[in-house]
Amino acid sequence: MRKKIANTIIFSFVFLPLILFLLWAFQPVQKTNILIMDKTVLTNEGLEHRGFDWILSHKKYFKNSGSPYSPSTDYLGFFPLKHDSFLIKDLYKLNDRQIDSLSDAVDMTYYTDTYGIYYNEWYRKRDQTEHSEKVYGGLDKKDVLFLSKMKEKKKMIIAEFNFFATPTSGSDRVKAELLLGLRWSGWTGRYFEQLDTLKNPELPRWVVRLYKEQHHNKWPFTRPGLVFVHTNETIAILESKTNLKKDVPVVNTFKYGMNKFSVPQKLDYPYWFDITLATDTTNRVLSYYELFPNAIGDSILNHHNIPKIFPAAFENTKKSPFYYFCGDFVDSPIYNTTHRAYGIQYFKLFLLNPNDPSDRTLFFWRYYLPVMDKILHDFYTKK
């Protein structure tokens, strides 16, 4: 009996990973030219686009050169260097003709994050949760021109949370909204596992400061909760038990989305999101957020005109191919070492804890991965 157990352990830790690697290695490489834009890269790990790179490598969507996409080099935006120096490589210095040529060469683009880099986090290495002067970030007119060229040529466009929000200027935001048929409400939000300032050092100081300024210098929160931030700096908070029947927002997916992308009907989402609505009727809502306030929480939402139900993901296949995720879906603690294992997602699902509301990896494996896998598959086969 002990020998059989020992053999099983050896197989699990030695031969099974080898088999999964060989199955992955023999999958065909699919070459494509994808422009990833990430303006929020504090380290070479590229956290705001690493999850997408993981999927590209895992599914073997490689560059035209035949090599895999690298999170540290294969994107445009902010590139951290040594000793507080940095390099910016984006579209700003390109003229209109060069942008047109770029849109010819690129098969698809994914704007993963435009929030940017700020003085405190980059130069001071402290007070990162307090507002400070922008070093770099936001959409600009060249981004809008590039996206308009991509749409004109019916190239795939994917974007997600913070695409429209601060620090993008109002004029560039409106142009992007009109181009893509969406309208940002001005509200962003996030679930926090702990609102107690003494227990959660990652709680943004600017949220606490602004809330106190707006509520007679009071911060009464000690439990988990939802924080809502408007572009005019209004802060609204719903606390667990006090204002909420269920703490974490739920992403509900319509039957069409469930069938097309093989995702569950309901799934908790514990991170940043925005409240964005469609102005183009061809933008189809795939999934929507649902909040669960009690009567007091409902009155707070009504006071600020914050809906309890609002879109989580859009798809447009009627005009030019376009997807918008109303959340920071790509940002997940996924490590690159596991991408060379065929079917690793099925093993990961057994190891996840569905009772941990703050664990973003569950959403990655059960929603983001299957959705992006299907998008890439359909895109590549129709290319």
* pLDDT score for 172: 95
Residue 6: per-residue pLDDT: 45
pTM: 0.90
Categorize the per-residue pLDDT at 381 as very low, low, confident or very high, splitting at 50, 70 and 90.
confident
Per the structure, how many domains does the chain have?
1
Three-state SS across the chain? CHHHHHHHHHHHHHHHHHHHHHHHHCCCCEECCEEEEECCCCCCCCHHHHHHHHHHHHCCEECCCCCCCCCCCCCEEEEECCCCCEEEECCCCCCHHHHHHHHHHCCEEEEEECCCEEHHHHHHCCCCCCCCCEEECCCCHHHHHHHHHHHHCCCEEEEECCCCCCCCCHHHHHHHHHHHCEEEEEEEEEEECCCCCCCCCCCCHHHHHHHHHHCCCCCCCCCCEEEEEECCCCEEEEEECCCEEEEEEEEEECHHHHHHHCCCCEEECCCCEEEEEECCCCCEEEEEEEEEECHHHHHHHHHCCCCCEEEEEEEECCCCCEEEECECCCCCCCCHHHCCCCCHHHHHHHHCCCCCCCCCHHHHHHHHHHHHHHHHHHHHHHC
Q: Is residue 372 part of a domain?
A: yes
Q: With beta carbons less than 8 A apart as the criterion, state whether 106 and 35 touch.
A: yes
Residue 141 covered by a domain: yes
Tell me, what's the pLDDT at 345?
A: 56
9, part of any domain = no
Higher model confidence: residue 216 or residue 58?
Answer: 216
pLDDT at 119: 82
What is the model's pLDDT at position 129?
65
Residue 247 lies in a domain: yes
pLDDT for the residue numbered 333: 74
Q: What is the pLDDT of residues 227-286, one digit of tens each?
A: 999 999 999 999 999 999 999 999 999 999 999 999 999 999 999 999 999 999 999 999
Partner residues linked to 327 by β-bridges: 273
pLDDT at 359 over 90: no
Q: Please check whether residue 144 lies inside any domain of the structure.
A: yes
Let me know if residue 3 belongs to a domain.
no
User: Across the chain, what does the average pLDDT equal?
Assistant: 88
Question: Which whole number is the average pLDDT over 37-49?
Answer: 88
Percent of the chain's residues with pLDDT above 70: 85
In this predicted structure, what is the pLDDT of residue 254? 98
- Span 318-347, mean pLDDT? 74
Range of the domain at 258: 21-382
Q: Which residues pair with 190 in a beta bridge?
A: 227
290: closest CA among 316, 308, 264, 276?
308
- Of residues 83 and 137, which shows the higher confidence score? 137
pLDDT digits over 97-154, tens only?
A: 999 999 999 999 999 999 999 988 887 766 566 777 889 999 999 999 999 999 999 9
Cis peptide leading into residue 167 (ω within 30°): yes
- Rounded to 10 degrees, what is the CA torsion of 355, 361, 367, 372? 180
CA dihedral defined by 43, 44, 45, 46, rounded to 10 degrees?
80
Question: Residue 342 above 50 pLDDT?
Answer: no
For the segment 157-186, the average pLDDT, to the nearest whole number, is: 95
Intra-chain end-to-end CA distance of the chain, in Å? 54
pLDDT confidence of residue 179: 97
Taking residues 159-187, report their average pLDDT.
95
Share of the chain above pLDDT 90, in %: 69
Task: State yes or no: pLDDT of 341 exceeds 60.
Answer: no
Give a yes or no: residue 349 inside a domain: yes
**346 pLDDT more than 60:** no
With cut-offs at 50, 70 and 90, classify the pLDDT of residue 29.
Answer: confident
Residue closest to 229 by CA, chosen among 246, 210, 251: 210
Domain-located, residue 16: no
CA torsion sign, 246 to 248 to 249 to 250? Answer: negative
pLDDT reported for residue 20: 56
